Amino acid sequence: MTSPIRTERHGDVLVIISDNPPVNALGQAVRAGLATGVEQALGDDSIRAVVIRCDGRTFFAGADITEFGKAPQSPSLPEALDKLEASDKPVVAAIHGTALGGGCEVALACHYRVAVPSAKIGLPEVKLGLIPGAAGTQRLPRLVGAEAALPLVAVGDPISAKKAQAIGLIDEIVGEDSLEADAIAFARSKIGQAVSRSSEGTANEDGIRNPDIFDQFRAQNGRKMRGFDAPNAAVAAVKAAGELSYADGVKKERELFMQLMNGTQSKAMRHYFFAERAANKINDVPADTPLIPINKVGVIGAGTMGGGIAMNFLSAGIPVTILEMQQEALDRGTSVIRKNYENTAKRGRMTMEQVEGAMGLLTSTLDYADLADCDLVIEAVYENMDVKKQVFAKLDEVVKQGAILASNTSYLNVDEIATATQRPGYVLGLHFFSPANVMKLLEIVRGANTRDDVLATSMKLAKKIGKVAAVSGVCPGFIGNRMLSQRQAQANKLIMEGANYWDVDDVLLEFGFPMGPFQMGDLAGIDIGWHRDPSKVTTVREALCAAGRFGQKNGKGFYDYDEARNRTPSDEVKQIIADFAAREGNAQRDISKDEIRERLLYPMVNEGAKILEEKMAQRASDIDVVWINGYGWPLYTGGPMFWATTVGLDAVVAGLEKHGLPASHYLRQKADAGNGFD
């Protein structure tokens, strides 16, 4: 087998080049090639400096994740990197694309780093439930200081070449199109000087001088880190860089790395990494399906949803025409969009120039004819089949042939909506989640007649606007809401049987959700859809509305809220629920948190199994992608289907039976065969 590493001589400089598509992951052959390349340089007196660079779209994007969990093959990355750093001939990393994880660690082991302006550099291991495992937690703080290293190691977001230069991680920014030549010139300029090894740096002493920075960092990032093991280990490793010798620090890093690698969180997060990429592929739609150019988008409805949807495209530089029935609603909608952008600018995440740029792409109209030349129109009107059909019939009439017509319905039958048009092949569901400009998930609902190019275009577009897409077949509620309704039904039953509603919320919170169903009701507003007739009370929610309890917006819903929006369970609500239970003749009993958890989550898994059996989802991991990105299912459990596999499907079936709940045929079959979800 030919090595992915080759070397080229440029006078007295040896250039070691990796060509391991798609992302130059540091698999065994790459590691071995790097070690051999360094040996070649050291063994040849006529070579006086070394440059390491990559072919293709990026510098090394990290260790090869597909090797994780398999028997280690030498040389390990730390071994290869120690050899590299030990060289007394200067070694320069020449970075383009994304130097991530092990790739960043290669750069740290080099004596110098140069990068093109568009390069990004970072240690995203925490996002895989890990910490850097090739001395990154020890070399980085010694090079840039503990304070600068903390976010890189414990949050894991990559930084630009410019920022990296500002903190001392990059020595020089070179020409976008002259990386190799500039790196060679840089390497040559270092010949004859003592090399600079980051393992010998002292910048980490900032953490010794001010040990508070670690607690401060934990306090600032507490919410982001909640429930995750890796960020805490990352902070501990960076702290150790100030407390221990380099050799002992590396040992400590290895210990923490191995603990995480063997734990369930990292397995779940690695599952998710591949799940997100798999969800992007539609099994029976060829990868080379020609795409429909999307140069202009129409949005019907300028309410919260329509406005949020429009922002996705505006932010991606795609012009949008937004339509409403009344001028007032249109004006309100566009001013909310502007305000949202201005708030983003106030927080420093956008410049005012960018705000004006995005707003400049927005046109508003009351006239359907203005949508004629759109390539895609997304309808976000009231959830009512007749209304949707009227909108689609109108769109079919005015919008040019070959344009895609999408519904943002969260529940209704997309095939029925398509019958209102003469172009069912161009109709599909694009289900955004509220707030649509923030939430990552896009459920792409494939109708019976939706064309391949319409699907492929929607997938590509999702990526362009920064969404994570998953395909669903047509069924009530699609993947996400169909499973949610199972959880909600159990939540409602549980409180009728005597469970405290705050225990129901707390169980989900403890599991890792950002909030439970009753907190969610309070946040969204309990009065949504309320008929406003206090004399007609048939549900707990209606009773709460009749009692003037509308949710967080008026300081009381299921909970009472203080100024800081802290919740306290309410005796009044407890009584309302007890009255309802008595009226329905429900016996009350104490219900344990274990029972609550099982009854909330196992029926969701069961529904997921049905969704798979009916082929409404392509694969179990797509369901995980939906729940993690759309409903706050904790990433570190891998999503409902992966989690069920770790619990054991036989345990899920037994749990359902214990609570008198039906287990689907498909779930039983998998459990009986001793399988998990693939």
- Quick one: tokens of 339? 């305000």
Q: How far is the CB of 656 from ligand 3H9 (least distance, A)?
A: 34
Q: Does 77 bind ligand 3H9 (CB under 6 A)?
A: yes
Contact by Cβ (8 Å): 96, 119: yes
Interface with ligand 3H9 (CB under 6 A), residue from 37, 90, 102, 516? 102
Give the CA distances from residue 560 to residues 129, 524, 541, 564, 581, in Å, rounded to whole numbers and listed in that order.
37, 15, 15, 11, 21
Of the residues 66, 74, 220, 568, which one makes contact with ligand 3H9 according to CB under 6 A? 66
* Residue 128 binds ligand 3H9, judged by CB under 6 A: yes
Contact call for residue 23 and ligand 3H9 (CB under 6 A): yes
Annotation says 105 is catalytic: yes
Contact string (CB under 6 A) for ligand 3H9, positions 585-614, x = contact = ------------------------------
The DSSP line for 176-229 is: TT-HHHHHHHHHHHTTTSPP--GGG--TTHHHHH-THHHHHHHHHTHHHHTT-S
CA distance 380 to 399: 16
> Does residue 132 interact with ligand 3H9 by CB under 6 A?
yes
Q: Which is nearer to ligand 3H9, 151 or 514 (CB)?
A: 151
| Stretch of 20-28, 288-296, 365-373, 609-617 contacting ligand 3H9, by CB under 6 A | 20-28
Contact 495, 589 (CB under 8 A): no
Nearest to ligand 3H9 of 66, 675 (CB atom):
66
| Interface residue with ligand 3H9, options 50, 54, 100, 626 (CB under 6 A) | 100
* By the rule CB under 6 A, 306 interacts with ligand 3H9: no
572 is catalytic: no
Q: What does the DSSP 8-state code read for residue 292? A: P
Stretch that binds ligand 3H9, among 54-62, 166-174, 217-225, 550-558 (CB under 6 A): 54-62
- Report the nearest approach of ligand 3H9 to the CB of residue 66 (Å): 5
CB of 248 to ligand 3H9, least distance (A): 18
- Of residues 218-277, which lie at the interface with ligand 3H9 (CB under 6 A)? 277
Q: Can you spell out the DSSP letters for 477-524?
A: TTTHHHHHHHHHHHHHHHHHTT--HHHHHHHHHHHT-SS-HHHHHHHH
**∠ CA 453-459-465 to the nearest 5 degrees?**
130
* Cβ 444 vs Cβ 471: under 8 Å: yes
Hey, how many other C-beta atoms are within 10 angstroms of the C-beta on 11?
11
To which residue do tokens 């529940």 refer?
A: 411
Report in angstroms how near the CB of residue 100 gets to ligand 3H9 at its nearest. 4
For residue 350, give the 3-state DSSP assignment.
Answer: coil
| From 85, 105, 276, 542, the catalytic residue | 105
AA identity, residue 323: L
CB of 31 to ligand 3H9, least distance (A): 9
Q: What are phi and psi of 364, to 5 degrees?
A: -120, 150
Q: Does 65 bind ligand 3H9 (CB under 6 A)?
A: yes
Amino acid found at 286: P
Q: Which is nearer to ligand 3H9, 380 or 470 (CB)?
A: 470
Kindly list the catalytic residues: 105, 125
Residues that bind ligand 3H9 (CB under 6 A): 22-23, 25, 58, 61-66, 77, 98, 100-102, 105, 124-125, 128, 132-134, 136, 277
